[in-house]
Structure 1
Amino acid sequence: MDKLSTLIGRFTFNARVFFNGDFCDTNQFQADGAAGHLHLVRQGPVVFEHAHGELLRVDEPSMVFYPRGMAHRLSVPDGAAATLLCATIAFQDGGANPLARALPECMCIPLAGMAPMRHTLDLLFAEAAVEAQGRAVILDRLCDVLMIQVIRHEFDQGHLHAGALAGLADRQLGPVLDAMHGRPHESWQLQSLARLAGMSRARFTEHFRTVVGTPPVEYLTRWRIGLACKLLRNGLPVKVVSAQTGYTSPPAFTRAFTENIGMSPRQWLRTQEAAAPAPGA
């Protein structure tokens, strides 16, 4: 099973390029808990100032990425100019998204060290250099691809912190998360999950909480409810959704959904429909 595709397909994100060009000023970014910020420094110097006055100076072409939207100030020294491409990365569920939580608070990677992403970067910068129909959409999609490659790079290098991706990389927890993700409809119990990990229940619970950041049953519930939201958006009835997400009956599913989301599935669907843009808007 392609573990990353399964997880990224569930915990989606979208990139939106908001700046592309020469920069010789300052800009302040606030932490809003909803979106991360990506800065591709094509030419420096650029100074990133964090809380408590911590400075990160970037002189060579680099990627600076704040997955959870940490507050920072971007500036260029007096008399200098930089070339930047910047995007917001809006993760589903904001900073609570396991993809966002799995990555470091701030990532700075020289572009020279991003060889596996070279072709994507070349396409991104080439598209940014032209004025053509559809450019904005293409830039956004290429940033999406770049983010997936960055996540894959961090996953392959073992740099991920506690969270679902770190769990997938763990020899004992990987099969457990695969089972949860791939077969959420099954009646998983703590004992059966521990058996998949080849551990005792107590040791499994402790290890899962340490690596993933939440107890196994809580993680399974969140995964099921997240999947349920996707199925409900696709128009499936509550009865079908409850069966596909492992609940014994629609009332049991509705109780779990309400406890986690704060409203019933039907109420939640109405809020989604009300928030959706009108056709042609």
Structure 2
Amino acid sequence: MMGVMKSKEDDSKSSAVDAVDRLSTLLDRFHVRASLFHTGPLCGRTTFEAQPDRAFLHVLRRGRLQIEHPAGTGAPRCVVVEEPTLLLYPRAVPHAFVNPPREGSDFTCATLQFAGGDRNPIAAALPPLVQVPLDAIPGLRPALDLLFAETDQVRCGSRLLADRLFEVVLIQLLRWVIDHPQEVGVSSGLVMGLSDPRLARALVALHAAPQVDWTLARMAAEAGMSRSGFAEAFRNVTGTTPLAYLTDWRLTVASTLLQTGHPQKLVAAELGFSAASSLSRAFKQRFGVAPRAWLAAQQQPTL
């Protein structure tokens, strides 16, 4: 009887979270583009170099895999995978696949470009490597079946369709990670906040309308909590204060808008700053330089 009661409580919690779309606003602001680059076996040692703003999503379809990472990346030095698995590198992390020399292992792989690069809040909130068995994610198999059908033979539009299907697989993976953050090594930050039913309501509202005058009382009301209870829970779960998170979100969005050519005055108005000068001050405090100087640095080629 105790088990049944716990199950109902878990279902109720899950329904409360699912009632809020925790990903769409994030992905609207910070979209992700996938590009298929390999399908089939890999034998011996294959190295994937780190490049700025390039992430990877690998699908190990069958076989055994050993993964090696250099020291200092934050990822384990050596990982052994022995079942079909999704392997997401949300940031630029060098890695090497070591496969059996004869039969190899079967992969479908794509590079990912997260809008905003290292400033992308989704990519920044994840560990260097997210490793999840395919069978752990409900509903993933139909999308993978379509992906494999497109990658296993060349047909009109196959590459374009495969790219979009990779993005579907990524969204399904992110959805699962938000529901199971600790299983992939996430213990604080945005993902943990979105996994909490009450905090998620406030975060989604804040993400959707950063220009609103989000006082602590207003955020707490969105979450259905008292101000003190909300402030304490928010800090414990995300590792930062609500107002600091709000400022950080606004500046992260601002950096993306400025880089795509939006005038500073319009960006300030869209994100709730009283004037362009207020945005400039906050921007300099966060990034160390004023927006104009920051943009100039972003436009310089990487050596």
TM value normalised by structure 2: 0.75
Q: Which residue of 2 aligns with 1:40?
A: 59
Q: Which residue of 2 aligns with 1:82?
A: 105
Q: Which residue of 2 aligns with 1:92?
A: 115
Q: Given the alignment of the two structures, is residue 24 of structure 1 paired with residue 82 of structure 2, yes or no? A: no
Q: Given the alignment of the two structures, is residue 11 of structure 1 paired with residue 33 of structure 2, yes or no? A: no
Q: Given the alignment of the two structures, is residue 156 of structure 1 paired with residue 179 of structure 2, yes or no? A: yes
**C-alpha displacement of 1:123:** 1.5
After the TM superposition, which of the residue ranges 166-175 and 252-261 deviates more from structure 2? 252-261
Q: Which residue of 2 aligns with 1:278?
A: none
Matches within 5 A, 1:57-206: 57-157=80-180, 159=182, 161=186, 162-194=188-220, 196-197=222-223, 198-201=225-228, 204-206=230-232
Match of 1:224 among 246, 250, 260: 250
**C-alpha displacement of 1:150:** 0.6
Q: Cα–Cα, structure 1 residues 186 and 17, in superposed 2: closer, same or farther, change >3 Å?
A: same
**C-alpha displacement of 1:152:** 1.0
Q: Cα–Cα, structure 1 residues 99 and 258, in superposed 2: closer, same or farther, change >3 Å?
A: same
Distance 1:38 1:92 in 2: 16
Q: Which residue of 2 aligns with 1:279?
A: none
Identify unmatched segments of 5+ residues in structure 2: 1-19
Report Cα offsets for 1:71-118 as digits up to 9, x if no partner.
432111233322211222232344553312433443333333344122
Distance 2:195 2:136 in 1: 22
Q: Cα–Cα, structure 1 residues 242 and 94, in superposed 2: closer, same or farther, change >3 Å?
A: closer
Distance 2:130 2:270 in 1: 37
Secondary structure of the structure 2 residue equivalent to 1:179: helix
Identify unmatched segments of 5+ residues in structure 1: 276-281
Q: Given the alignment of the two structures, is residue 252 of structure 1 paired with residue 278 of structure 2, yes or no? A: yes
Q: Cα–Cα, structure 1 residues 139 and 29, in superposed 2: closer, same or farther, change >3 Å?
A: same
**C-alpha displacement of 1:244:** 1.9
The 8 Å contact of residues 207 and 249 in structure 2, kept in 1 or not, is answered as yes
**C-alpha displacement of 1:204:** 4.1
Code of the aligned partner of 1:83? D
After the TM superposition, which of the residue ranges 243-252 and 126-135 deviates more from structure 2? 126-135
**C-alpha displacement of 1:220:** 1.0
After the TM superposition, which of the residue ranges 260-269 and 119-128 deviates more from structure 2? 260-269
Distance 1:127 1:146 in 2: 14
The 8 Å contact of residues 64 and 99 in structure 2, kept in 1 or not, is answered as yes
Cα root mean square deviation, aligned: 3.2
Code of the aligned partner of 2:278? A
Distance 2:88 2:232 in 1: 31
Code of the aligned partner of 1:17? L
